[in-house]
Structure 1
Amino acid sequence: MLKATIKEVAAEAEVSTATVSRVLNNSLKVSIEARQRVSAAIAKLNYEPSAIARSLKQDRTFMIGIIVPDITNSYFMEISKGIEDTVGQSGFQLMFCSSDENTDKEGRLLQLLNEKRVAAVVIATAGGNGDKIMSMSRSGLPVVLIDRSLDGQDGSNQLDLVAEDNKASAYMLTRRLLQDGHSALGVVNGPSCVSTGRERYEGVLQAIREWGIDEPSHLYNGDFSVEGGIRAVRQFGQTGSMPTAIVSLNNRMTFGVLLELIRRGLHIPSDVAIASFGEVESGQLLKNPKLYYIDQQPYDMGKRTGELLLSRMSKEKRSADPHVEIFHHQIKCIL
């Protein structure tokens, strides 16, 4: 059965196609009587507006592109859910992409989203694509940075940014282990090419240096992956002296750390204490783990991002100054 067209709806309602279009777009420039006739015609003919035609007319789709390092990470899933719950009420849908912390792949995904004429882009960048991201923004495409700033950006961001207070949170996390009497600390860091990796490690260094320690006794620069956490523990073990506590600066890496410590028959926290930037739900399965973690708020960050997107996609707000919103966290403990 062929789908009804907007012309057929107009004929049934005895109005122009322009009037039907105004009704579909909730324009106020339509009389109550005409609106009722159009609504009745739409229901009678089972008319469904063409998203393709709509996007061609407006030169944009009603899709928002989301690029994150790993869409399977619960942190980014919660952020995406917050965005979806916010923008979905206005008819927008999300297109999800994982960059796998790969700069080249991220660049290709940015090009793809641009070609797809998405209405806006949200990105937790892997780094190295700052010029391309800024070029897309200058073209009029709303862009919101989530979790990570562009290379070299500070408080005077040129783009909207929703992120965490990485340095302060990592500082608190490290200080808690030091207060518990641990001085031989192992640090599992993320890549220094992204702002989260740099800022969190700065927080660790600030804490240990205030404690009179120059450098962590063990350091592994990972890639925010489970495998990175596993490799970190293996590297620490090869030194002949496992640290008494490990600060893991990402929840996925923390899961890898826990896996490898358990494989080695080590107990938490009696053999090795753990402090994680982000909750690891599997930690609740351990017996008396006393596992410290930063209590992140990814869903709330997603909701705020969604609100910024809707604001930027309204014509009157596109030229407003960039908005930077930093979420501050607390330490919690799985007992």
Structure 2
Amino acid sequence: MSKATIKEVAAEAEVSTATVSRVLNESGYVSDEIKERVLEAVAKLNYQPSAIARSLKQDKTYMIGVIVPDISNSYFMGISRGIEDVVGPEGFQLMFCSSDESPDKENRLLQLLQEKRVDAIVLATAGGNDEKVKQLSDSGLPIVLVDRKLESDEAGAGLDLVAEDNEEGACRLTGKLLEDGHVRLGVVNGPARVSTGRERYEGVLKAMREHGLDPKPLVYNGDFSTEDGVLAVRKFLKSDPKPTAIVSLNNRMSLGVLLEIVRSGLKIPDDMAVASFGEVEAGSLLKNPGLYYIDQHPYDMGIKTGELLLKRIRKEETPAEPVFEIFRNEVNRIG
């Protein structure tokens, strides 16, 4: 059975197509009698308005693109849920994309979202696309950076940012291990092209300097994956001397760290202490883990991001000054 058209609805209701459009879009005056006839015709013919046609007419798609490194990561899932809970009731839908920490894939996704005519983009960048992001922003497309900054301060100067206080958080986290007497540290970090990698590592070095230590920890630079945490522990256990504690600067890598320590027959924290930037759900399953972690608030970050998106899409502030919302997180301990 073919789909009903707006012309067929108009014929059934004995009105013009313009009148049908006014009823469906709730724009312009239409008498109650005419409105009832149009809605009865819509129901009878099971008419579905074309979202594409409506978006072209209104110059709005009610779609928001969200590009994150890994949508399956609970941290980014929390952010996405917060965004959805704000923009969803306002009629917007989210288009989720995972860049897999690949600048090339992120570039293609940015191009795709532009072609899809999304009303705004949320970006947790994998790095390397400052020029493309600035180009999109300069064209008038609202972009909100979340969790990560662009590599160039100049490129990101006019963009909203919702992020954590990465340097101070990593500094406080590392400080807990140093206060417990650990001086030989292994650091599991992400790529330096990503602001979270740069800032969190600087926080580790800052804590070591504040405790009078030479800031030269053993470092494994990964790509924010569980496998990176596994490989980092293998590297650390082969070193001489071995570190007595590991600072893992991402929750996915922290999971790999915990898994490999347990596989190696070591006990946490007796044989190897661990501190994680971000809570690891599996950590609570360990017996007496003594695991330090930064308590993140991704859902709250998503709420703030959603509020900014609505402001930018609706152009509520002119001129629009960029907003920098930085969340300060505390150190907690399991066990």
TM bucket, shorter chain: over 0.9
For residues 4 and 124 of structure 2, the distance between their equivalents in structure 1, rounded to whole angstroms, comes to: 41
Specify every segment of 5 or more residues in structure 1 that has no aligned partner in the other structure, as ranges: none
Please, what TM-score do these two structures have when normalized by structure 2? 0.93
Going from structure 1 to structure 2, the CA distance change for 1:263 and 1:154 (only over 3 Å counts) comes to farther
The C-alpha deviation readout for 1:184-212, integer Å capped at 9, x for no partner, is 11111111111111111111111110100
Paired position in structure 2 for 1:82: 82
For residues 310 and 7 of structure 1, the distance between their equivalents in structure 2, rounded to whole angstroms, comes to: 34
Residue identity in the other structure for 1:226: T
The C-alpha deviation readout for 1:177-236, integer Å capped at 9, x for no partner, is 111121111111111111111111111111110100122432111211111111111111
Partners of 1:269 and 1:290 within 8 A in 2: yes
Paired position in structure 2 for 1:255: 255
For residues 180 and 30 of structure 1, the distance between their equivalents in structure 2, rounded to whole angstroms, comes to: 74
For residues 163 and 136 of structure 2, the distance between their equivalents in structure 1, rounded to whole angstroms, comes to: 21
CA RMSD of the aligned region, Å?
A: 2.1
Please give the secondary structure, in 1, of the residue aligned with 2:215. Answer: coil
Partners of 1:185 and 1:244 within 8 A in 2: yes
CA shift, 1:161, in A, is 1.0
The answer to whether residue 181 in structure 2 is matched with residue 181 in structure 1 is yes
Paired position in structure 1 for 2:57: 57
Partners of 1:130 and 1:151 within 8 A in 2: yes
**Larger mean Cα displacement after TM superposition, 206-215 or 153-162:** 153-162
The answer to whether residue 331 in structure 2 is matched with residue 311 in structure 1 is no
**Larger mean Cα displacement after TM superposition, 283-292 or 145-154:** 145-154
> Matches of residues 136-155 of structure 1 in structure 2 within 5 Å?
136-153=136-153
Partners of 2:134 and 2:155 within 8 A in 1: no
Please give the secondary structure, in 1, of the residue aligned with 2:153. Answer: coil
Partners of 2:130 and 2:155 within 8 A in 1: no
How many residue pairs align between the two structures? 335
Paired position in structure 1 for 2:162: 162
The answer to whether residue 206 in structure 2 is matched with residue 197 in structure 1 is no
For residues 268 and 187 of structure 2, the distance between their equivalents in structure 1, rounded to whole angstroms, comes to: 16
CA shift, 1:35, in A, is 4.0
Paired position in structure 2 for 1:334: 334
The C-alpha deviation readout for 1:51-76, integer Å capped at 9, x for no partner, is 12122333443322111111111111
Please, what TM-score do these two structures have when normalized by structure 1? 0.93
For residues 44 and 195 of structure 1, the distance between their equivalents in structure 2, rounded to whole angstroms, comes to: 56
Please give the secondary structure, in 2, of the residue aligned with 1:95. Answer: strand
CA shift, 1:45, in A, is 2.8
The C-alpha deviation readout for 1:79-104, integer Å capped at 9, x for no partner, is 11211222221222222211111111
CA shift, 1:13, in A, is 4.0
Partners of 2:101 and 2:126 within 8 A in 1: yes
Please give the secondary structure, in 1, of the residue aligned with 2:292. Answer: strand
Partners of 2:150 and 2:156 within 8 A in 1: no
Going from structure 1 to structure 2, the CA distance change for 1:47 and 1:129 (only over 3 Å counts) comes to same
Paired position in structure 2 for 1:238: 238
